[in-house]
Each structure stands twice: as structure tokens, then as C-alpha cells.
Amino acid sequence: MIAIIADGRWGKRVVHFLRGLAPDESVTWGARSPSYAKELQMEERGISISSYLDAIKAHQLIVVALPYQDLLPWADVYAPWLNGKIVIDLSIPQTSEDRLLCGWRTSVTEELQKRLPESRIVGAKSTAFQGNTRGRSAVYVTSDDEGAKRRVIELFRRASYSAVDAGGLEENRAIDRIMKIEGLP
């Protein structure tokens, strides 16, 4: 049911986190380098590993955990296969110097919707995905597609997370800043 598009250590954390959310669901980790993902994923069970494209083709719910600088180019390449699918953006557009990359006039999630107009874009933001939380963190869920947003909220609530309906995609402009503050040690 769920494809997770992610790479490296953050990808491994997101796969582990989402595996816990949906232990009975079919999960595919779509990675740029499936062989490297297999090395990182040794202890995870019930996870298939494939290329980005194979993971996208196999599922209707696509969780994307890519750095901001990779997200929009990725969307441009895979747009034809993402039509009609729910695409969940976990990214927080922040540099290593703690600067946010999108001003107040847009958010990465809004830009993703512009690149993928035929997809059902959902923002799901939480420091829990980054591994920066000392306890359970709220998951702020946004979308201009109410049905897609409800489905994602239900997914997080099944795992007893506090999933907050945070409104439309425009709300990510403020949520990205909240994540920056919440993630501080």
C-alpha cells in the first residue's frame, strides 16, 4: 500500500518509522540506489526494496522523504507516474545553517503541487521523521484535497500519533518554521 521514496540514513529512519505506523501494510522502499538501501535495511522486516519508479508503480500512497534540493527535480522526472496518486511530502526546506529556503510566499509542498497538478499532494510535517524529538511529536497534515488529507490523518492516528488537520497546503509556510523551532535540542 505504501511506497517510501527516500535515501540514506534519513531514508532508513523514515522507513523504520512508517513501518511502525503500518505493520500490516505492504511497504516498498524506493531508493536511488537499491543496493545501498539493502545494506542500511538489514534489520527491517517486511520491506521490499526497489527503484523509485518500481515503488511508485506498485502503490497509490507515495511518501517522499527527500531533501528539498532533490524533491522538485525528482517530481519533474516521475510526474507521469504520479498522476492520481496521493503524494505525501515530509521535507522541511532548511539548510545546514538552519535557514529556511522558501520565503513567506510559498512552501515546498505548494511548489510540489504545482509540479504535480494531477497528484493529490499532502504535507505531513513532524520532527519525529527527523529523529529530533524526545517524545511523540504531533504530525501536522495539510492538503487542498480533503479526501487525501483524511486518509493520511487516519494512517497516523492508527499508530496513536497526534495527527493534526492543519488546513490547506498554504499552511506549510508557517509549519516549516514551527518544525525548525520544535527540532531544536
**What's the pLDDT tens digit per position in 18-56?**
877 777 788 888 888 877 777 766 556 678 889 999 999
CA-based diameter of the chain, in Å?
42
Query: pTM here?
Result: 0.87
State the average pLDDT over residues 67-80. 93
Alpha helices in 108-145 (DSSP H): 108-115
Walk me through the domains of the chain, giving residue ranges and CATH numbers: 2-182 (3.40.50.720)
Burial 18-34, CB ≥16 within 10 A → b, else e = bbebbeeeebbbbbbeb
On average, the pLDDT of the chain sits at 83
Cell of 146: 480533503
